[in-house]
Structure 1
């Protein structure tokens, strides 16, 4: 295994995952695309997929999908994870995953990785795998236009299905890598989680089977324990092969039959057990704190007492829509709290869904100030109780239906343009959890039909099922520090009782105006229209408006229901004097908290119900900017928001105070995390003497932020629309965009003044420097090696330096991970920038054990020296080229790529036509080119920065 980003499913993310709609589950039912008005109807399966089962029990899913071209996404899903481990196998489900990249029947150790890199498959970005409590999933995208590569892809999947060699030598060599992965997970979150996990998974094996396992077992397990896990659980009746991509179904089906039909199950296969969690009386309370915790959090679990109800019928699916509306409304209310003065939490949410294994719960979560946990808990409890007593309002209900339907419509309209890697996971989840797979058309049409039949009383009734005083858990986690008093269990219990009997008033839903911009501005005109028709690939149209503003658009058919937007004007905060910059730098982020044209943020949320649109202005270091997106039906709303952010951004002291409060809560303890503290300290070290260095703001910095001045400077920076260039990419209506641009952008105030950014006088430290930083109690270090400085920008050198970093990354993984077993991951990055001045940066970074720092740095520098002396190998350069070209092929069909490319061409004053020469330029790269930039940029001194644990 090489540059693998092998993810374990994070329990922490699982616990706080925000799900607006229920995690509906379904079994495989016959295809049925009727509207499903009969409640007993089986839930339909999309007709796009073919589902089958081999005689050995292996299930397969196949779909032909032409986006992107010439690629098939392959998955091997196995219903075997850490929950199946015996006491001598702790961590071995995950270890088994690693071993599938370290010697199989058809690929000796390192041959698999070498082959995949040789055909352009990038690790982490493309190839991946993960192990969770209940499953292991292998991920492999493969070219479909080359029969040999396609055959190899299925052969690799076949090897993963149970043909790992698991030699003593290979196992021992991988122990160090897995232990380094284990090391990366050490820290405050893990320490606190380990203390309350048994309360979440009460009397359950899940509490004893975290996928990463234990360090002791990873170091000492017997070879036979791993082989036994493979023999017991890597078998076809627990597997599914999923293939989605640009190839006909018949060919894919035959490949699956040929490669997997010969797999056999054990003579006496072990039953695949299911593990549950027991119910308990009363309320459990877990209050944990840690010196390195970065955030204070509150979680409430009202755990279901019965088994999860799988969604098998149309009526079940309707129930899930009802639950989705509930989730939408409760979270709209909680979002309002975070936008109020003195907010009780940074953000909060509630939903009903899975917590661990087969246990589901109604869950409420909030991230709070370090002293605000009890306030946040009170709000969560009171809002749940308020809904229980009074229910939701009809106005809330109508907005929720509009929002849900708008999202479903957006998914439906884009459904025929979905990339294969976005489709394939739905089939993985159908196999693993029986999750539903009706078509997006059916989902949208069914919701459109059934929403009018859902009553508010149905939604209101859910809260009575969710809330109960037993089988309940409250978890609080946060920082341990001087001056901070830990909440007690009795305080929590008392608050639970208090809220239950409190006098709570009904929710007031204040009405907002119906239109964002009731009166349209006086319309301008299009002064000039220019078409760049140097080829269909890069065809763009630029409108110069009567006020001087420019609008460039590219119409694409990559997505049916997507338009992306960006804009810039040179200048930004670089034009502020140093004293002004210091006063406003921490205030700029809070400017848009105020809303526009008298509409507060909560008002905006209400008024935008049913719309798919967002616009975000910002002031950067060297430009002022806009970014946003919209569905075509809401294109005009996007233009209206642009106009109002120019002319009618509100000034709201209470909204800014709310922003400051949330920033203090979010940033206040970030430096408790050793890695974050290291990066902050390193930034200060490199910028010593920089009069404009900001870094992470303190509470005092936020209190001193000058909102009045920041607002004034915002008005100045956005006073001249004529200096802006706007970009739109997507399903643009070419007849409409000229009218909208004339109405909402050409009408903006403008002058003939054209600005540029100011180049800073300060330069960060370069050359030979050493920075050692001690922080943290766990035995973990972080290494950062950096080469940087000024240079004249050269596009060819920039391309070569970037490729050099990718070639070095291949060697770092080979040396530091495969040979030394000293890291889980390592990589290099290289770039040359043009703005604000020509500069280069090249870096190497990796985490490791403290005792291995010097050895691994020496090994890294030795690899750098080889590049200087000899250049990369021809094989490594070929791998880099193929990965770049394969990635670019996909990018050319993405709106985001084109938006960034077109904007960057203007921002950096480069030729957009260069995109047509990308393949030629990449193929022209030589070993000498990379060696030349290595000599030029890596022969000078470098920064050696190391995080070490506290002594």
Structure 2
């Protein structure tokens, strides 16, 4: 008996140990997130994250979208999302937006929502340092979940707003998608349930049909609440239970179906063209035969790592083709991932191409896929991909305690909706370090045989339709597929690169002077060659350093003729590479490094922008040195760049929005001898590469006239060392330059310009004030405040009252450089029939502020918004880099940045009223885009 008991115990222990071992093979859930489920089925995720301070990101996630709509509900999932902002039991129409604006939350920019095929997600960022605000935030989420009022009147009023959003989606992309989607989503319910829905349903659906979608699908078993931010986890959990435990489960709920993407034996080809299509594209889909499986185990995660490495390697090859002397496309990439259907993945290849290059681009994509299938990737490609993969993870790992809540919250949304793994950054990094070296190249090379197959394949070509352009035929595509299958394709080859970026170290200079600004916390170094280095050490990110450099002059010092002959060529100069290394060579050499440097020549400055990690900072300095002293001259590389730009721009002016902006720009710059406008193929043909290269050398000949800015996790001694070695050693002179103020200064003078383009019933209105003025920092700030207040009033009037727009905005500022000027604009899209009335309504809001100033309530709203924004900005490297640079350029006292709260508090209604009266006069330009008139049709906007 004892022996039997002992054997049983051994068996019990063995089984349990085995089960535990098996269980341990699952990907863990990060201990930093607290997950739970209420008795009614609602799931919640809570995570404490201190960046930004005193802020909480809330999400209400509904596992229901347009795929669940009945035939008479197409568009109502999205419509219901709108209705949740238009009245609930605790917030009458407009009260919700009004309240959130009062605590600094902007409608659209912060407060938002989206509806897709399978989900609806509500986005609510709120301050977390006030209990009342916190309670109200959770009350809003609860109201969205089950307390929307959806009165008949509110539904009818919102139809116009939703129709305006529907109108925005009209155009060539939608028309072409309607042609190819039935093949991409063959025999799938997804092909018939686009989230925007049908016009007639939006306009005519009866009230109960709208409410029924809400009743059927907004229920706790399909909901999650996600809270990430500067919070007390236990306190937030109590609030979730308090607000959501009372949601009643639905008796006999409708089945939440999962719709599939059926297989098909043939290869489908869809060729869609449109007269307004600005770009040509090629897509290839190899849809999986089986449904996708969740990434649950460690083995699943290794499979995912392998696919990531595969994508890195194939895209490195496609990037090399893009940068070749005769590129087959402007841009291309491939990846394995999701389709419209949640449960079906596909291997997908994409290219942006010239209008006459579609077959060539398709051939290049197919050839590279076939090359990998036949020959695989090389060992060196594999090593570079692993270095890139680890470098990205290492950066995330080092910044794991400095991630913004807004970047973290979506992973929990995805976990609820799609069971995506959430093990946390530490686990991902450590797991990759432990397992990356065990991944074999052969395993990754074998993936392509799973990806590529002749059934379940769809090829889509989209592009312009115009006279003289012969569209690709389906038989040509099928013939190309057969050609690739039977052709000889050579293995990928590459030359060995040198080990170091610089072949010879420069003769170092020195730091000759150091000045500290203790209030703002930055240091200014004067170097032996006259250059200055400004740096601010921060702890906002552990693994980030942002960089810029500026010298005055830019193209303002070019003659008119030289400027016109080089303006477009300047951006192509760096495509030649540096130090006898091509762009492709540089890309390979930078594998495993996170660093970028971009030389720039603008209208009034020349300089650089870029970034690096602390580990790669020396590489950044070396690249800057080489861009000064050793930019390659390569006409073939420049020609390849120009050809890509010409292919990309070939049909741009067929698009009504691009055409409108171009025509408006030409009108405003009439008489400007230096006006370039939108680039065209003809303009690129007229560029002078030799002259552009010569001018570049002139602009970067004197490093002593430059100031270099660094902000981030800086090792001060290394910055001084690198600055001495790589910047102080640059050629310089005592000469300093200033930009030249342009003779032509555009201004508005009561003009009206109506531009006709496009066939869809879509219009755009731009109201623009601008001209010369004496710059005053206080007026600049007040002008920005005026833009914020007018935006609030325009949304209230044009969207909520008139239901005539989906979005509308106003903005303004004063500029000191290149000369004192002001600019203010109001813009909105709308229906052609509403242009006149909505323009009058917008101008009426301007007049109200000119007569009475803003209300005290609206002033307090924008003050709170400014303070909330600045609190976040003070914790951002980008903000401080911009402040340091602009203070020097504008000769502004940098310490004023610390007095912002005083500045906001001092802002008055009277100041805003005065600025409105000073600048928003009758001398505005009214630019209107209207559809092209049909024969015999009268103009609706007037001339």
What TM-score comes out, normalization by structure 1 length? 0.95
Q: How far apart are the structure 2 equivalents of 1:697 and 1:443? A: 44
After superposition, where does 1:381-392 map in structure 2 within 5 Å? Answer: 381-392=366-377
Paired residue for 1:251, among 218, 225, 235? 235
After superposition, where does 1:481-630 map in structure 2 within 5 Å? Answer: 481-534=466-519, 538-630=520-612
Task: Determine whether 1:74 maps to 2:61.
Answer: no
2:401 match: secondary structure:
helix
Task: Determine whether 1:55 maps to 2:56.
Answer: no
Q: Retained in 2: the 8 A contact 1:39–1:315?
A: no
Query: Which range is displaced more, 122-131 or 168-177?
Result: 122-131
Q: How far apart are the structure 1 equivalents of 2:756 and 2:748? A: 22
Q: Retained in 1: the 8 A contact 2:74–2:201?
A: yes
Task: Determine whether 1:436 maps to 2:436.
Answer: no
2:146 match: secondary structure:
coil
Q: How far apart are the structure 2 equivalents of 1:598 and 1:136? A: 52
1:867 match: secondary structure:
helix
Q: Which residue number corresponds to residue 860 of structure 2?
A: 878
Q: Which residue number corresponds to residue 17 of structure 1?
A: none
Q: Retained in 2: the 8 A contact 1:298–1:366?
A: yes
Q: Which residue number corresponds to residue 816 of structure 2?
A: 834
Task: Determine whether 1:353 maps to 2:337.
Answer: yes
Q: Which residue number corresponds to residue 479 of structure 1?
A: 464
1:656 match: secondary structure:
helix
**CA positional deviation for 1:124:** 2.0
Task: Determine whether 1:682 maps to 2:668.
Answer: no
Q: Which residue number corresponds to residue 828 of structure 2?
A: 846
**CA positional deviation for 1:359:** 1.9
Query: Which range is displaced more, 564-573 or 867-876?
Result: 867-876
Tell me the alpha carbon deviations over residues 729-781 of structure 1, each in whole angstroms, 9 at most, x when there is no partner: 00000111100000000000000001000000001142200100000000000
Q: Which residue number corresponds to residue 222 of structure 2?
A: 238
Q: How far apart are the structure 2 equivalents of 1:725 and 1:38? A: 59
Q: How far apart are the structure 2 equivalents of 1:611 and 1:476? A: 36
Tell me the alpha carbon deviations over residues 823-845 of structure 1, each in whole angstroms, 9 at most, x when there is no partner: 00111011100011000011000
Q: Retained in 1: the 8 A contact 2:747–2:772?
A: no
Q: Which residue number corresponds to residue 144 of structure 1?
A: 128
Tell me the alpha carbon deviations over residues 233-269 of structure 1, each in whole angstroms, 9 at most, x when there is no partner: 0001100000111111100000000000100111111
Q: Retained in 2: the 8 A contact 1:64–1:244?
A: yes
Paired residue for 2:409, among 402, 415, 424? 424
1:318 match: secondary structure:
helix
Q: Retained in 2: the 8 A contact 1:293–1:672?
A: yes
**CA positional deviation for 1:518:** 3.2
Q: Which residue number corresponds to residue 24 of structure 1?
A: none
**CA positional deviation for 1:642:** 0.3
2:289 match: secondary structure:
coil
Q: Retained in 2: the 8 A contact 1:767–1:788?
A: no
Q: How far apart are the structure 2 equivalents of 1:297 and 1:720? A: 43
Task: Determine whether 1:941 maps to 2:926.
Answer: no
**CA positional deviation for 1:39:** 10
Paired residue for 1:266, among 228, 233, 250? 250
Q: Which runs of 5+ in 2 are unaligned?
A: 1-19, 934-943
Q: Which residue number corresponds to residue 378 of structure 1?
A: 363
Q: How far apart are the structure 2 equivalents of 1:385 and 1:607? A: 26
Q: How far apart are the structure 2 equivalents of 1:908 and 1:940? A: 30
**CA positional deviation for 1:697:** 2.1
Q: How far apart are the structure 2 equivalents of 1:268 and 1:470? A: 40
**CA positional deviation for 1:270:** 1.1
Q: How far apart are the structure 2 equivalents of 1:426 and 1:909? A: 44
Q: How far apart are the structure 2 equivalents of 1:200 and 1:342? A: 31
Q: Which residue number corresponds to residue 43 of structure 1?
A: 27
Task: Determine whether 1:194 maps to 2:182.
Answer: no
**CA positional deviation for 1:40:** 6.8
Q: Retained in 2: the 8 A contact 1:613–1:629?
A: yes
The change in CA–CA distance for 1:371 and 1:794 in structure 2 (over 3 A counts) is same
2:587 match: secondary structure:
helix
Task: Determine whether 1:785 maps to 2:767.
Answer: yes
**CA positional deviation for 1:940:** 3.8
Q: Which residue number corresponds to residue 662 of structure 1?
A: 644
**How much is the aligned-residue C-alpha RMSD, in angstroms?**
1.0
Paired residue for 2:880, among 891, 898, 903? 898
**CA positional deviation for 1:162:** 1.7
Tell me the alpha carbon deviations over residues 291-335 of structure 1, each in whole angstroms, 9 at most, x when there is no partner: 000110000001101010211100110011111111110010000
Task: Determine whether 1:754 maps to 2:739.
Answer: no
Task: Determine whether 1:773 maps to 2:755.
Answer: yes
Q: How far apart are the structure 2 equivalents of 1:148 and 1:506? A: 66
Q: How far apart are the structure 1 equivalents of 2:397 and 2:813? A: 40
Q: How far apart are the structure 1 equivalents of 2:624 and 2:207? A: 63
Q: Which residue number corresponds to residue 707 of structure 2?
A: 725
**CA positional deviation for 1:519:** 2.0
Q: How far apart are the structure 2 equivalents of 1:102 and 1:783? A: 26
Paired residue for 2:890, among 890, 895, 908? 908
Tell me the alpha carbon deviations over residues 850-884 of structure 1, each in whole angstroms, 9 at most, x when there is no partner: 00000000011111111111111111111111001
**CA positional deviation for 1:698:** 2.0
Task: Determine whether 1:181 maps to 2:170.
Answer: no
The change in CA–CA distance for 1:937 and 1:520 in structure 2 (over 3 A counts) is same
Tell me the alpha carbon deviations over residues 367-390 of structure 1, each in whole angstroms, 9 at most, x when there is no partner: 111000000011111111111100
Tell me the alpha carbon deviations over residues 539-597 of structure 1, each in whole angstroms, 9 at most, x when there is no partner: 10011000000000000000000000011000000000111111111110100000000
Q: Retained in 1: the 8 A contact 2:288–2:344?
A: yes
Tell me the alpha carbon deviations over residues 379-422 of structure 1, each in whole angstroms, 9 at most, x when there is no partner: 11111111110000001000000000000000111011001111
Q: Retained in 2: the 8 A contact 1:571–1:624?
A: yes
Q: Retained in 2: the 8 A contact 1:40–1:315?
A: no
**CA positional deviation for 1:512:** 1.0
Q: How far apart are the structure 2 equivalents of 1:947 and 1:796? A: 35
Q: Retained in 2: the 8 A contact 1:129–1:139?
A: yes
Q: How far apart are the structure 2 equivalents of 1:67 and 1:948? A: 46
Task: Determine whether 1:466 maps to 2:451.
Answer: yes
Paired residue for 1:651, among 633, 640, 651? 633
What TM-score comes out, normalization by structure 2 length? 0.96
Paired residue for 1:412, among 392, 397, 408? 397
1:843 match: secondary structure:
strand
Aligned pairs, how many?
913
Paired residue for 2:847, among 855, 861, 865? 865
Q: How far apart are the structure 1 equivalents of 2:571 and 2:48? A: 45
Paired residue for 1:927, among 882, 885, 909? 909
1:56 match: secondary structure:
coil
Q: How far apart are the structure 1 equivalents of 2:111 and 2:511? A: 48
Q: How far apart are the structure 2 equivalents of 1:433 and 1:359? A: 12
**CA positional deviation for 1:617:** 0.6
Q: How far apart are the structure 2 equivalents of 1:856 and 1:712? A: 51
Q: Retained in 2: the 8 A contact 1:37–1:314?
A: no
Q: Retained in 1: the 8 A contact 2:774–2:821?
A: yes
Q: How far apart are the structure 2 equivalents of 1:585 and 1:698? A: 12
**CA positional deviation for 1:282:** 1.5
Q: Which residue number corresponds to residue 10 of structure 2?
A: none
Q: Retained in 2: the 8 A contact 1:38–1:314?
A: no
Q: How far apart are the structure 2 equivalents of 1:99 and 1:612? A: 45
2:611 match: secondary structure:
strand
